[in-house]
């Protein structure tokens, strides 16, 4: 696997959305919801701002990290890996590259939220130095499942 990492360009929106959609469908269903078209309405503008990054194996997009600049840090809004590539270290690859971007930009932290019931996600983020700073309802209010809000100081 010869991975590369770069910013997404507008013409890649559909491919990035497909990766996120397929990666998040089981997670969203576990929360008792279904993904709808509006779920990724933010993606085109985020790509235009330069906030979406891709992991590629050759020419194939295999992972997506959608981020958002916040105060002193970078918020990881979505981190998705193509289902066939999950469990191969690709999520770690994406996290490491996003951290490099934050550090090179002089930012002081990475942050994210994930469902408390998504124990695999929490284990992954902890392996990369994230700590749970609080637990609570999701910021979007679309379901009642508690979230773990996690931060990694840089």
pLDDT tens, 50-72?
999 999 999 999 999 999 999 88
Domains and CATH numbers, the chain: 3-153 (3.40.630.30)
Q: Which of 86, 91, 72 is nearest to 151 (CA)?
A: 72
Burial class (CB in 10 A: 0-12, 13-18, 19+), 3: middle
Whole-number average pLDDT of the chain: 93
Specify the DSSP element, H or E, that contains 130: none
pLDDT at 40 (0 to 100): 86
- In whole angstroms, what is the distance from residue 68 CA to residue 75 CA? 5
Average pLDDT over residues 119-145: 89
**22-31, 57-66, 124-133: least confidently modelled range:** 22-31
- pLDDT at residue 46 is higher than 80: yes
Average pLDDT over residues 106-110: 97
* Per-residue confidence band for 144, with pLDDT thresholds at 50, 70 and 90: confident
- Matching residue, tokens 């958002």: 68
* Per-residue confidence band for 1, with pLDDT thresholds at 50, 70 and 90: low
- In whole angstroms, what is the distance from residue 27 CA to residue 25 CA? 5
Specify the DSSP element, H or E, that contains 111: strand 109-115
**8-17, 22-31, 102-111: least confidently modelled range:** 22-31
Contact status, residue 109 vs residue 129, Cβ threshold 8 Å: no
* Per-residue confidence band for 96, with pLDDT thresholds at 50, 70 and 90: very high
């Amino acid at each position: 696997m010869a991975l590369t990492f770069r910013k997404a360009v507008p013409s890649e929106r559909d491919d990035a959305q497909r990766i996120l959609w397929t990666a998040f469908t089981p997670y969203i269903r576990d929360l008792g919801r279904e993904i709808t078209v509006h779920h990724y309405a933010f993606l085109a503008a985020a790509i235009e701002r330069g906030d979406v990054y891709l992991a590629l194996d050759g020419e194939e997009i295999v992972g997506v990290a959608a981020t958002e600049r916040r105060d002193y840090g970078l918020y990881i809004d979505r981190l998705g890996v193509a289902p066939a590539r999950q469990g191969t270290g690709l999520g770690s690859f994406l996290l490491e590259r996003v951290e490099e971007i934050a550090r090179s930009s002089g930012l002081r932290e990475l942050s994210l939220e994930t469902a408390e019931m998504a124990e695999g996600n929490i284990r992954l983020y902890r392996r990369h130095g994230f700590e749970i700073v609080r637990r609570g309802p999701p910021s979007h209010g679309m379901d009642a499942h508690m979230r773990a809000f996690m931060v990694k100081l840089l």
